[in-house]
Structure 1
Amino acid sequence: MKWELDWLENRVRLTPWKTAVIHAGSNQQWNYQQINHRAKILVHFLLEQKVGKGDRVALISPNHISYFDLMFACAKIGAIFVPINWRLSIQEMNYILADCSPKLVGYHDQFKEMIDTLSFHQDRYFCVSSPEYEIGMSDENEPLLLSVSIEQEDPWMMIYTGGTTGKPKGVILSHRAILWNGLNTIVSWSLTANDTTLTYLPMFHTGGLNALTTPLLMIGGTVVIGNQFDPLEAIEALNQYHCTIALFVPTMYQMMIQEKAFVESSFPSMKVFLSGGAPCPLSVYEAFIKKGIAFKEGYGLTEAGPNNFYIDPEEAKTHRGSVGKSMLFNQIKLLKEDGTEAAVGEVGELLIQGKHTFSAYWNNQAATAEVLQNNWLHTGDLARVNKAGYCFIVGRKKEMIISGGENIYPLEVEQCLLQFPHIEEAAVIGLPDDMWGEKVVAFIVTTNQRSVPSADLQQHCQQALAKYKIPKQFIFIEELPKTHVGKIDKKMLVEIGKGSLEIK
């Protein structure tokens, strides 16, 4: 294996006794030498099970030390690590297992009942939370490893997309992609070995695994992992472990800023809070600005890193909603429908280029060819850039509403609605309309299910939006459906919306 690819081994040489990983629930801690030693022990087990270069090794587990065991063990022998979303249905999990056909599947005993119902070969599972597993990991003898030839383009991880617009696709991330995402993040975000992050995002997701976890381990920092997100526990952990940088999704922030502990804490060790996964409501910005704490948004996707932009927290105050400018080692451009580049202020599809992008979709050449064109990754997201060069994500290309020939970006309408008192969450979609082609429909969640007249909302929208952008219908629900990573599930909203139309 080339020296630059086994960067964990090199990190051990530099800072063997530095704390690498902490489990927030149990307070168990592992230094870099221990993390590397565990990976080497697991390599022996994998080789005994005939796992070789290119074979897939899956994991079904909550955030747990086994993610690091398997991730780094696979890296050393050229196997492909496949973390699986345990929140999926049995049917979806069976599809993924059949698609990637892993040689082995590690599982946490928390999901033993689920494992027993899966149709995948039962003799290929092993438990990562058993006493026997930990006893094996405690072996103090230094394993001797075989030399494996691994190149930068060899796959290291395969993370499946959410599948909200179709069947999940396996995103192949090479050693090159992981390495350059880490280097780009470290340099652009000025990460150091003194930084500590708290990871509540699920580690089967690129945000939990690659946004801050792998870059911080590369630079010699500390990663604190938590399991089930609880806003109060997260606030306490940030202070207990002297975290300096953390990434949460907007729904997590919405819960955190309502806690008394958030109001009372000054978060003395925190340099910056990051938001990702979905556009962040301006109310969250205001909560952090009021406390004088640095806060900013980022943008990423499984196929690109996931880190792509940088914005100084001070600039984020004056460019609210912007994800910033492309990082040091990648570039972007915006393409309009006619294939020409969008001018300043114009909306176009966001394209990304850099060494941190993915290689291909597993067993899906057609989807790969659609997304990767001429060394540019077509994200499917729409964005605009202002005169100062700051990029704003305006929504998904597939979610854009066309009503009466006019393009409407749901995010603009959602941000307007969220500024109305007592609205906790808002989501906007387009539904079929005989006259206009599509009509704008808003789903609203109010604080404590407070009653808000639709006429008041329409009047509020008239002050900020063109008439054709104002929702024709407001549907009040108790909770917006979410995907496994906290994004609003608009596919589900379309079904709910169509049902409400049929009822009427």
Structure 2
Amino acid sequence: MEVAFDGSWLVKRSQLSPTKIAIIDGETGEHWNYKELYNRTLNMADRLYQLGIGQGDRVAMLSPNDPSYFELLFACQAVGAIFVPLNWRLSEEELIFILQDCQAKCVFIHQDFSDMGKGLPFETIPLKTKPVHASRSAELPLGDSCKHAAIIYTGGTTGKPKGVILSHRNIASNAINTIISWGLSERDVTLTCLPMFHTGGLNALSTPLLMAGGTVVIMKDFQTDKVMDLLTLYHCTVVLMVPTMYHMLIEHPAFAEESFPSMKTFLSGGAPCPLEIYEAFFRKGKLFKEGYGLTEAGPNNFYIDPTEAYGKKGSVGKPMMFNEVKIVKENNKVAEANEVGEIFLKGPHVFTGYWSNKAETDKVKCDGWLRTGDLGKKDEDGYFYIVGRAKDLIISGGENVYPTEVEQTVSQHIAVKEVSVVGIPHPKWGEAVLAVVSLKRPASEKELTTYCSQRLGKYKVPKRFIFVKEIPKTAVGKIDKKLLMERYREIFTYESEHL
């Protein structure tokens, strides 16, 4: 028997759990069991057939979080097409670049974005139509597990977006590894509030839980009060959010009174999480942990027992069952305990390559390993920690400064709401540490400098603190360090010239 690594596992799930609720629309309360989800997928596949979509065609989708993401993803598998979710926060020019880069045959448009679709020089198709009878396909066919399933474009913080090709095997392997390593089951319910055009929203918990037979509640847009309502209303057990979302959650007036009775684990990803968030959930008696991943790998790569996470605050845990991790130093030697180096990953979940971009693919793939560009370390007990992006490393006066360490320190100050640390050119030190801070109560630069001086080596203490109302974010909710570095690039040069 051939193992369904190609995406047709939905067939099996619809047979094993036909009446189990698969998806709930958090906006309307509508829900579909696995048999209904399967039938809706067949209907969508028929639409694709009728549109002339076939093997290898790229089918794009511009939509807020919506159950149709899964219908179209699985329907593309049925006809051999490749699913391309689009970041709706991008400009029209950026969207056109992506559509031209992948040579999309058509774009499915959610009604909320019908005006955006008018400016795209591609065939656009309304996403929501009256369901048709599934006449062409009796079931999703078994196909080649190595065939492309999706192209997910990266945020483009280092240049033009790159299309990350994920095969059916990549997606299924990530799901299987997550289910086994994290202990997910049909009893679990998650709230998907991360954008589903991003791998975190689509593949981190949503796809694994569907494979496991659990329930996915889809939230159209992130609102803190709605998050708390939906987690309780649908008896959610596990949720993934990025640190900026958790900041908003713990600062909400209702958070102090909310008990989250059904929740087993709160999971953070996308960036290192401030330690104050651990404390907020610990005080509630709720388990909180961090994960690590990237579009090119899974995105899931580590597991930490939630009961151990508080004692290992900041750790993403140990490699999952079916992937390998190593930390490599500049001399290409594997790092010893507590030595910082680049994180390398290996496993069947690692992406196929960048779409039409062999040069960039060759830069990150080496002897079967993926070079992530992220810095990390491993402690004596084998627990891994993310230090930051290699490109974000600050070298000040010949000393290495890891922004995450400084950010964790600054964020523990009682007045600090959010912080981002970047390296800015300095006429004397080469680079200097700059902290951009948003506050939740008044504080002075002198106060924060003194606080850091008591906890960090002198060369790690920010030379300047810049106070802003809100720190700018990228389209997927991460702090936009590239923008901060550009915005404040001349600050130390200007100050030295005007002393």
Query: Normalised by the size of structure 2, how large is the TM-score?
Result: 0.96
CA distance in 2: counterparts of 1:249 and 1:380, whole angstroms:
20
Q: Which residue of 2 aligns with 1:302?
A: 295
Q: Does the aligned pair in 1 maintain the 2:60–2:108 contact within 8 Å?
A: yes
Q: Which residue of 2 aligns with 1:20?
A: 22
Q: Which residue of 2 aligns with 1:343?
A: 336
Q: Which residue of 2 aligns with 1:379?
A: 372
CA distance in 1: counterparts of 2:29 and 2:140, whole angstroms:
35
Letter in 1 for 2:462: P
Q: Does the aligned pair in 2 maintain the 1:78–1:148 contact within 8 Å?
A: no
Q: Which residue of 472, 481, 489 corresponds with 1:490?
A: 481
Q: Which residue of 167, 171, 175 corresponds with 1:178?
A: 171
Q: Which residue of 2 aligns with 1:287?
A: 280
Q: Which residue of 2 aligns with 1:370?
A: 363
Letter in 2 for 1:419: Q
Q: Which residue of 2 aligns with 1:156?
A: 149
Q: Which residue of 2 aligns with 1:361?
A: 354
Q: Which residue of 1 aligns with 2:161?
A: 168
Q: Mapping of 1:384-403 within 5 angstroms? A: 384-403=377-396
CA distance in 2: counterparts of 1:203 and 1:81, whole angstroms:
12
CA distance in 1: counterparts of 2:141 and 2:407, whole angstroms:
52
Unaligned 5+ runs, structure 1: none
Q: Does the aligned pair in 2 maintain the 1:231–1:259 contact within 8 Å?
A: yes
Deviations 1:383-415 (A, max 9, x none): 000001100000000000011111110011111
Q: Which residue of 1 aligns with 2:52?
A: 50
Query: How many Å apart are 1:142 and its aligned residue?
Result: 5.6
Q: Mapping of 1:184-333 within 5 angstroms? A: 184-333=177-326
Q: Does the aligned pair in 2 maintain the 1:195–1:221 contact within 8 Å?
A: yes
Q: Which residue of 1 aligns with 2:126?
A: 127
Q: CA, structure 1 residues 160+175, in 2 after alignment: closer, same or farther (shift >3 Å)?
A: same
Letter in 2 for 1:427: S
CA distance in 1: counterparts of 2:251 and 2:31, whole angstroms:
31
CA distance in 2: counterparts of 1:239 and 1:77, whole angstroms:
38
Query: How many Å apart are 1:115 and its aligned residue?
Result: 1.3
Q: Which residue of 1 aligns with 2:455?
A: 464
Q: Does the aligned pair in 2 maintain the 1:324–1:390 contact within 8 Å?
A: yes
Q: CA, structure 1 residues 90+249, in 2 after alignment: closer, same or farther (shift >3 Å)?
A: same
CA distance in 2: counterparts of 1:333 and 1:88, whole angstroms:
34
Runs of at least 4 residues of structure 1 off by over 4 A? 145-149, 499-504
Q: Does the aligned pair in 2 maintain the 1:335–1:350 contact within 8 Å?
A: yes
CA distance in 2: counterparts of 1:256 and 1:9, whole angstroms:
37
CA distance in 2: counterparts of 1:24 and 1:100, whole angstroms:
32
Q: CA, structure 1 residues 284+147, in 2 after alignment: closer, same or farther (shift >3 Å)?
A: closer
Q: Does the aligned pair in 2 maintain the 1:2–1:150 contact within 8 Å?
A: no
CA RMSD of aligned residues (A): 1.5
Deviations 1:275-308 (A, max 9, x none): 0111111110000000000110000100010000
Query: Normalised by the size of structure 1, how large is the TM-score?
Result: 0.95
Q: Which residue of 437, 440, 458 corresponds with 1:444?
A: 437
SS at match of 1:492: helix
Q: Does the aligned pair in 2 maintain the 1:37–1:142 contact within 8 Å?
A: no
Q: Which residue of 2 aligns with 1:411?
A: 404
CA distance in 2: counterparts of 1:148 and 1:415, whole angstroms:
49
CA distance in 2: counterparts of 1:90 and 1:389, whole angstroms:
46
Q: Which residue of 2 aligns with 1:429?
A: 422
Q: Does the aligned pair in 1 maintain the 2:344–2:371 contact within 8 Å?
A: yes
CA distance in 1: counterparts of 2:292 and 2:162, whole angstroms:
20
Q: Which residue of 2 aligns with 1:32?
A: 34
Letter in 1 for 2:131: G
- % identical equivalent positions: 51
Q: Which residue of 2 aligns with 1:454?
A: 445
Query: How many Å apart are 1:499 and its aligned residue?
Result: 5.2
CA distance in 2: counterparts of 1:70 and 1:356, whole angstroms:
21
Query: How many Å apart are 1:42 and its aligned residue?
Result: 1.5
Query: How many Å apart are 1:145 and its aligned residue?
Result: 4.7
How many residues get paired?
Answer: 493
CA distance in 2: counterparts of 1:465 and 1:339, whole angstroms:
29
Q: Does the aligned pair in 1 maintain the 2:426–2:492 contact within 8 Å?
A: no
Letter in 1 for 2:108: G
Query: How many Å apart are 1:228 and its aligned residue?
Result: 1.3
SS at match of 2:152: strand
SS at match of 2:254: helix
Deviations 1:433-478 (A, max 9, x none): 1211111111111115x2x222221111111111111111111111
CA distance in 1: counterparts of 2:136 and 2:307, whole angstroms:
49
Q: Which residue of 58, 61, 73 corresponds with 1:59?
A: 61
Deviates more, 1:439-448 or 1:225-234: 439-448
Deviates more, 1:3-12 or 1:147-156: 147-156
Query: How many Å apart are 1:261 and its aligned residue?
Result: 2.6
CA distance in 2: counterparts of 1:259 and 1:439, whole angstroms:
35
SS at match of 1:136: coil
Q: Which residue of 2 aligns with 1:136?
A: 131
Query: How many Å apart are 1:226 and its aligned residue?
Result: 0.3
Unaligned 5+ runs, structure 2: none
Q: Does the aligned pair in 2 maintain the 1:199–1:246 contact within 8 Å?
A: yes
Deviations 1:114-173 (A, max 9, x none): 11122x22xx211113xxx1x225x4x564359866211111011000001111000000
Query: How many Å apart are 1:479 and its aligned residue?
Result: 0.9
Q: Does the aligned pair in 2 maintain the 1:249–1:276 contact within 8 Å?
A: yes
Q: Does the aligned pair in 1 maintain the 2:23–2:216 contact within 8 Å?
A: yes
SS at match of 1:105: strand
CA distance in 2: counterparts of 1:462 and 1:260, whole angstroms:
33
Deviates more, 1:241-250 or 1:3-12: 3-12
Letter in 1 for 2:238: I
Q: Does the aligned pair in 1 maintain the 2:341–2:375 contact within 8 Å?
A: yes
Q: Does the aligned pair in 2 maintain the 1:41–1:143 contact within 8 Å?
A: no
Query: How many Å apart are 1:417 and its aligned residue?
Result: 0.6
